[in-house]
Structure formats: structure tokens, C-alpha cells
Structure 1
Amino acid sequence: MSVVAPDTDPADPAPRLRSGSVRLRTAAAVLALIAVLLVVLAIAVDVALGARLRAQIEDRLRDRAAATASLVGTVDDADLADRLSAQGLAVRIDGASGDSVVAGPSPDQLRNGPPGGPGPGGPPSERGQSTSTSASAVRVVASDVSGDDDLVTLRSSLSDGSTLTLTASAVGVEDTLVQVRWVMSVASAGVLLLSAGAIVLVVRVTLRPLERVSQVARSIGAGERGRRLRPTRPDTEIGRVAAALDDMLDDVVGAEHAARDAEVRLRAFLSDAAHELRTPVAGIRAAADTLVRSDLDGPEREMLAAHVAREASRASRLVDDLLLMARVDRGLDLSPTVVALRRLVTAETARAQLVHPDLRLEESTPDAAVTARVDVDRFAQVLSNLVENAARATKGRGQVRLELQSEGDEAVIAVQDDGPGVPEGDRLRIFERLVRLDASRSAGGAGLGLPIARGIARAHGGDVRCEPSAVGARFVVTVPFVKTTPGSHADG
């Protein structure tokens, strides 16, 4: 008993592509179709030709019956029967008075083949003998054709009351059909052989583009990433396959470039993070060594202890920012609620005024409530990072303005400062990790505040962007606006 191999490997749950030869499948399918058509054609020819040959025999018998009817009364029945039997027919004439005349071969003899005289395909009947008889000429009143595969019998009732029975052999019909069948079989075999050769050539030429597809795929796998198929007609079957392969290759190459860029950015990020951590760690180590090795007392010891605490706090903030950036990349767990953003803006203004007493803070909020579904603590961190960025840019003594408004389906919060601003070419780069501009803009920041703010905003379905401004820098936070009904409640 044969075992059919499964389409899937137990170790690999993904279905496997049936990769049988397209050439063999196509050739076999076309040859099978041609064979079926040839069989149908042979059956149709056999049936049609057999019916036509038997119809010719029946026409011949009717012709003989008509000729006989014209001779009744002028020739006696025996002579008439002899004339008909001479043409290879079995003749029986039953007179109206009950006498019968039989002539010619018997039906059994006709089944074994026609006699030596003219067969069913012999010359036509002697119509010339139907002389111009008088009005007393007898005519055929009715006729009936019957028989089997080997015989054809015609019974005709004449107008004088007699009955004429003519029987002809149909063995020659079957012989002719056998010969035709042999001819059709040999011809069909020849057609199939020629078709097989022609189909192989045609399929080979037709599938040549697929060979080019495989060649291009192998060359791309070998390192030629820029090669493409670029089909001239993408609306055809092979064109669609080639276009799909080109699209897939573009995606694969794009993913490869993205992976390489991500790897480069990761290495740069690790290098920058190590550099940022090395400075406070080095300061902590130096101060700790001095405290351990030197016998210090009084103000100097307190100064070193304060330096250790300050650098440790700086390193701790950097580590916290790095961990938060990793959480943003992985996906933050938010607890959003519908809140009036005016409360968050007012709270951030008050906090920044306490931390930076010399900073001139302004707040602009509309009278109508602007609500959004946000995580209050996370979204407050976005505003805090933007305000701290503005404070560093203005050295803690500039002017910072917070504006709240709604634009269409978005709630917009803008943080505007009067610092040195951000060059146009750096408005996208400043949102990359550990990227800092010149000292006038960064003022000691680690370069993680803006990426964290954008990551949190995007986790809420919004964004943070740096827009052009005539004075200083302008950062805009957007978040989907939530319309509240008069009966609904918004926190704050």
C-alpha cells in the first residue's frame, strides 16, 4: 500500500508549497484534453458515418421499391423478383391472392456478407426500366424500414394489394466503420505525439520568464540587492508574480536597511549612554576616593559629600530616563481618563515657577473646556519635559508661554520660549535619543527629554513636533480631542 506524503512537516506547522513541474502538469493537462477531444471526435464520426451509410442503404431500397411499383402489371412477379435479387437483395413478393415469390440470398447469407453481385454500395438501380406505363401503373402505398446491425429490411405495400419485402446486407457498413476506426486511432496517436512535442516547446518558451525570475532571485540572494524584474506588462499572470516579487524585494531590502540603521543607532545609543554615565560615575569615584584616602574635615568634607550626592542624582536621573525610553519603545501601560487639559497646564505652570523662580511663565487657555483622554501622570511628564527644555534654553531666566487650544479633532498645547531657537535642519534630529545641540540650546541636558515626550504623546495617539517660530523655539503637543456632553464629567 502506498503512502502519500503530507503537505506539512510536523516540525514546521506552516503549509508547504506543492512544487511539481509546471511543464509536466501543463503538458499532461493539454494532452489529456486533446485525447478527450479526439475520443469525442471519433465517437461522433463513428455515429454520424454509420447513420449515413445505413441511410444510403435505406434510400437504395426505397429507390428499388419505387422502381418495382412502376413495373407491377407489366412484368410478372417471378421475373420482377429475379431482377431485384440480381442486385444482391433478398426479395419477397406476397400477392394479394396469397401466393408468394421469394428470390435472392436468404437473410442468413446476407449476414455473412453480400454475394458476388453488386453490394450495398453498388451502382444505382435501373430507373430506365420504369417505362411509361398507362394509368394502371401501380404505386407504393406505404413502406416501413426495419432491421438490425447486419440487415436492413424495407416492407412496402403496393396499390394492387401486394406486399414487397426487400432485405439488404449492412455488413459492409460495419466493415467500413472498422476501417475508419483504425484510421482514426492511428491518426489520433500521431496527433498526440506531435502535440506532445509541440506542447513541450510551447511551454518551454512560455515559462522562460519564470526562469528569469528564479535567476534574478538567486542573484539577489547572492548579494545583488539592486536587481529587479520590472515586468513590461504587470497585468498578466507572470507580470503580477514579477511585480509582487519586486515589491517583496523592496520591502526586504528596506527592512534590511532599517535593521542596519537600527543597529547603528543602538550602538551609538549605547556609546552615548555609556559616555553620559561615565561623567557622573567618574565624579562620584573621584570624590569617594578623596573621602576615603584623605583625612578631611569640615567644609571640604561636606563639599565632597554634596558633590557625590549631586553626581549620584544626575546618574540616577539618566538611568531613569533610559529605562523610561525603553518602556516607551516597548509600549507604555497607560491609565487614561477624560481630563480637562487646562488643569494640567495650570499645574505645570505652578510647578515650573517653583523650580525656576527667575523664569517668566505665561499661560493662555480658552474659556471653553478642552478635554482629552490621557494618562494624567504621563501627559504631565510631557509638559514637564518641554518646559524644562525651554528653561535650559533660556538659562532659567527667559520667557516661556504655554498655550492651550483646540483645532478640529485635536487638542493642541504649545510651549514657546524666547531662547536661541532650533535651526531648521535640526527640528527632526532633536527628537533622536541623546542628541544635543550646541551649548546655548542644550545647557547640560542628556538629550532624552524630547524623545521621551514624543514617545509618550504618540502612545496617546498624538505627537510632539518643533514648529518654525520667529523668536525662540516652539514645541507643539497634539492629542485627540474628546467632546464632552453637558451631562458628562471630566476630571478637573
Structure 2
Amino acid sequence: MTAPALRTASLRRRLSLWVLGLLAVLLVVLGVTVDLVLGANLRSDLRQRLVDRAEIAAELVAQGRSDEEVLDAVTGDTVQAQIETADGAQVGELEPPRPGAGPPARPGPPPRQDAVVDTGDAYVLQTGLDDGSRLTLLADQGPITDAVHQLRWVLVVGAALTLVLAAVLVSATVGLGLRPLGRMTALARSITSGDRGRRLRPDRPHTELGSTAAAFDDMLDELEGAERTARRAEAGMRDLLGDAAHELRTPLAAVQASVETVLRTDPNRDRREELLAGAVRELQRSGRLVADLLDVARFDSGDPPALERRPTDLLGLARGSAHRVGGPVEVAGDAVTADVDPDRVGQVLDNLLRNAVRAAGPDGHVQVVVRSEGEHVRLDVVDDGPGVPADQRERVFDRLVRLDAARTRDGGAGLGLPIARALARAHGGDVLCLPADRGACFRVQLPVTAVTQPPGNPG
């Protein structure tokens, strides 16, 4: 299933729009809050003003002031007043408020005496005085409504200007904040052009951009390591194919020559048997090389051969391997039974013994010693050949590595030792090249009970 494509819209534009959108929402909330709070406070102040003027009028009447003096004291600041005397005469005149000055009055029960009534255009307060007259106070809401409207326009224009200025500043600020991403892009392009050694190396790797840059550097390191590994693997495969072709060409050429000689010359029986026996040996040698190549391919692919473990007499197994290889091989040691795959351990011993017999030569001596060491068993393969230099004791386990002609006089593609080590490690053991006073000593270490470990790459 194909993964969805990564959305690559402009990050600067997206961040700017998000910030401006958030700022616009905050400005709207602020404007509505100021409008509601300011309008409510102004109207509350106007209602309180009517109540205060009614108290002043009551005090003046109690002091015996005239109706005209009372009206002069309570009139002003958008407040009008009218007194209806006890005999029905009216002192003062009320002008009707500007229509639509305020919100419409809410329906409800009739207003009670001494209560401020909202008529929609004005606030009205009627109260009785001590001399039997009735005072009517009216406050027009028009100035409050005009002030609120003006404030709304100021807020709208101010918010618009703020958003325009914020758009410029946010775009510039986001551009500065995203500058490290530009460096990352330039670095990626330079790496694409061939400059593979450059890195971002953030000074604060725990921040958002710092962690991204650090992850980018780690990815580049992994890619470089993978590239180096792939190049080494490619070079190793080329060498392997070249050596395999060379190693196969020699025995196949010998087989071809032997068969052609038999066909063309029709030699006597002894000569014919000699030629055919030589062809069989070369075919066996080719078969071993092909089997080694298949084992290497399995280990490289992470799919090593399956182990068929069963209790096995390792001393008897070493004697059988010595018999197959032939040559001056002596087997000694303890009779130890271990839970191993006898075919694979036999393959390990065969590889080591063939190398040892080749190194020792026809007049040399090879010995296999089996010893038990607690929960492990060791099989030492010792020869009196030229030995392995100290600086080559690990290198001989690399694929296709062959030492001087004294240890390879009978051929070999350099695959036996890495395959032997890989098979031993598959059992939970190992193969080591140990120091020796004379010749070489290879030790196979195996657990007595079943222990499986990943065999790893055989070289």
C-alpha cells in the first residue's frame, strides 16, 4: 500500500496564517468584551446618576427649596427633570429622547415607583417628594450609544491596522525562525552534489529544530555507513566472483584435459584410470568450492543453514573427519558428547584439517585434541607448518584471505575458515587462531548443551 504523500505547503505561509488567525480571534474577543463591558458600565453609571439626582431633589425639598431650584440642581449631563406639584401643575419640560438611541426596552411588568425604567431610548425615574409633588427624571441613552458606536469603529480600524502590521512582522519573524531549515536544505543539496562530509551539528540539540538537525546528521551518518558497507560488499562480491571463477576454471580445465585425453588417445587401462581419477578429484574440489559459495551466500542473506542437533561423540566425529581428509592426522583426547549438528561440526573440522594438512605438507604432522572444559568442549587442530603471523590471526577469518604459498600450496579459495567460524558461532561457540610455538593452532569452542547464537557475517 502506497504511503500518502507528504504535504509540503509553504511553512512560512502556514505559520503566518495561523498566527494572524489567532491574533484576529483574540482581537475580536477583545473588541466584543470591551464593547459589552464599556456599554454596560456607561448605562449602569447613567442609571446610578438618576438615583443620585432623585436623592438630591428629596434633600432640597426637605430644606424648603423651590421647585425651580430643585430642577436647576438635578438637571444637566443628559439628565432632564420635571416636577408635577400636588395641585397638578407641571414645572419644567421633558424633551423626547432621540429615537433608536438605545436598545429596545425588554417587555415585562409595569414599572414600579422609584425604579429606573429602561424605555429603550432613555432611562426614566419617577419618585414622590415630601411636599406631595412627583419628580420625573429622564436620561437620554443617545450619547452612550454614539460613544459605543465610535468605539466599535476605532476597534475595527485598529484591529485591521494591527493585523496588517502583524502580517509584515510575523512574516519577517517566521522567516528568521525558519532560517535553520534553509541551512538544512542547502546542506542536503551540497551533499547531493558530492560533499558528503558536511553536517549541521546544532548547538542546542534538545530544541525542536535542534533535534531535527541532530536526527538529520544521524541519518546522514547512517547513510554514509550504509554506502561504505554497500561498497565494501560490492567489492567483496566482485573479488568473490573473480576468485570463484579463477578457482573453478582450474579444476574444470583439468577435468576437460583429462577427458579429452581419454577420448582422443584411448590410453591403456592404467593411464585411463589415472586420468579419470584426477578428473574426479578436480570435480570434488569444484563441488566443495560451490558448496562453500552457497554457504557464504546463505550467511550473507541472514538465512544460515538450519542445525539438526543431536547428542554427538566429538572424539569419534574428529576421527571421522581425519579419515575423510586423509594425510598425517592424529586424533587424541577425551570422549565428549555434545548436543550439536554433527554434519556442520564435521564441516568445520574438515575445513580446518584440510588447511592444516596443506600447511604441514606430506612430511608434516597434524593433531586434533578434544578436551572437555566444564560446560564447553574445545577441539584444537595443530599443525607443524609455517604457522600464522600474529597480525594475521584475525584476518585469516575474512573471506577470500589466503596467506603465503606455504600455507596454500594446494589451492583453496579462502572460504573455509570464515565458514567454519560462522558455523561454530551458530552453535553458540567460536573458532580462534591461537599463538603456537611451531606451526598453527586453531581452536573450536562449542557448548556441551544447545546454545544458539546468530552466526553473523562469515567474513
Give the match for residue 258 of structure 1: 229
- Aligned-residue offset at 1:88: 5.0
Matching of residue 294 in structure 1 with residue 262 in structure 2:
no
Aligned-partner Cα distance in 2 for 1:478–1:149: 102
Q: Which residue of 1 aligns with 2:304?
A: 332
Query: Aligned equivalents of 1:285 and 1:161: distance in 2?
Result: 145
Give per-residue Cα distances to partners, 1:193-247, cap 9 Å, x unaligned: 1100101111111111111111111111111111221222211111111111111
Q: Does 1:440 align with 2:406?
A: yes
Is structure 2 residue 371 aligned with structure 1 residue 403? yes
Deviations 1:51-74 (A, max 9, x none): 232233233223322221111141
Aligned-residue offset at 1:188: 1.0
CA distance in 2, matches of 1:274, 1:322: 11
The answer for the alignment partner of 1:125 in structure 2 is none
Matched, 1:177 2:180: no
Q: Aligned partners of 1:443, 1:52: CA distance in 2, in Å? A: 109
What TM-score do the two structures reach when normalised by structure 1?
0.78
Task: Give me the whole-angstrom Cα distance separating, in 1, the residues matched to 2:217 and 2:374.
Answer: 44
Correspondence list, 1:406-485, <5 A:
406=374, 411-419=376-384, 420-446=386-412, 447-460=414-427, 462-469=429-436, 472-478=440-446, 481-482=449-450
* Greater Cα offset, 291-300 or 426-435: 291-300
Structure 1 position 438, deviation (Å) = 2.2
SS of the equivalent of 1:255 reads helix
State the Cα distance separating 1:81 from its structure 2 match. 4.4
Structure 2 length as normaliser, TM-score? 0.83
Maintained 8 Å contact 2:31/2:152: yes
Gaps of 5+ in 1: 1-11, 115-141, 484-492
Residues 43 and 355 of structure 1: CA distance in aligned 2, closer, same or farther (over 3 Å): closer
Q: Which residue number in structure 2 is paired with residue 219 of structure 1?
A: 190
CA distance in 1, matches of 2:427, 2:184: 45
Q: Is the 8 A contact 2:101 2:120 kept in 1?
A: no
Contact 1:92 1:100 in 2 (8 A): no
CA contact (8 A) 1:463 1:479 kept: no
Offset at residue 459 of structure 1 (A) = 3.9
Work out whether 1:380 is the aligned partner of 2:346.
yes
Task: Report the identity percentage.
Answer: 42
Q: 1:285 is matched with which residue? A: 256
The amino acid that maps onto 1:334 is A
2:42 maps to 53
Instruction: Choose 162-171 or 203-212, whichever is displaced more.
Output: 162-171
Alignment correspondent of 1:7: none
1:400–1:221: structure 2 CA closer, same or farther, 3 Å change rule?
A: same
Residue aligning to 1:348: 318
| One-letter code aligned to 1:249 | L
Q: Residues 149-298 of structure 1 correspond to what in structure 2 (within 5 A)? A: 149-156=120-127, 164-298=135-269
Count of aligned pairs between the two proteins: 434
Q: Shift of the alpha carbon at 1:185?
A: 1.1
Q: Is the 2:381–2:442 Cα contact (8 Å) retained in structure 1?
A: yes
In the TM superposition, residue 393 of structure 1 has moved relative to its aligned partner by: 3.5
When residues 102 and 474 of structure 1 are mapped into structure 2, their CA distance, relative to the original with a 3 A threshold, is farther
Give 5+ residue unaligned stretches, structure 2: 103-112, 452-459
Q: Secondary structure in 2 aligned to 1:72? A: helix
SS in 2 for 1:109: coil
Write the deviation string for residues 260-296 of structure 1: whole angstroms up to 9, x where unpaired: 1111111111111111122222222333333333353
Give me the whole-angstrom Cα distance separating, in 2, the residues matched to 1:432 and 1:207.
49
2:97 aligns with 109
The answer (yes or no) to whether the contact 1:328–1:456 under 8 Å persists in 2 is: no
Could you report, residue by residue, the CA deviation over 1:48-102 in whole angstroms, capped at 9, with x for unpaired residues?
221232233233223322221111141344763476457653435567x685746
| Maintained 8 Å contact 2:352/2:442 | no
Q: 1:110 touches 1:169 (CA, 8 Å); kept in 2? A: yes
Shift of 1:149: 4.5
Give the one of 290, 294, 318 matched to 1:323. 294
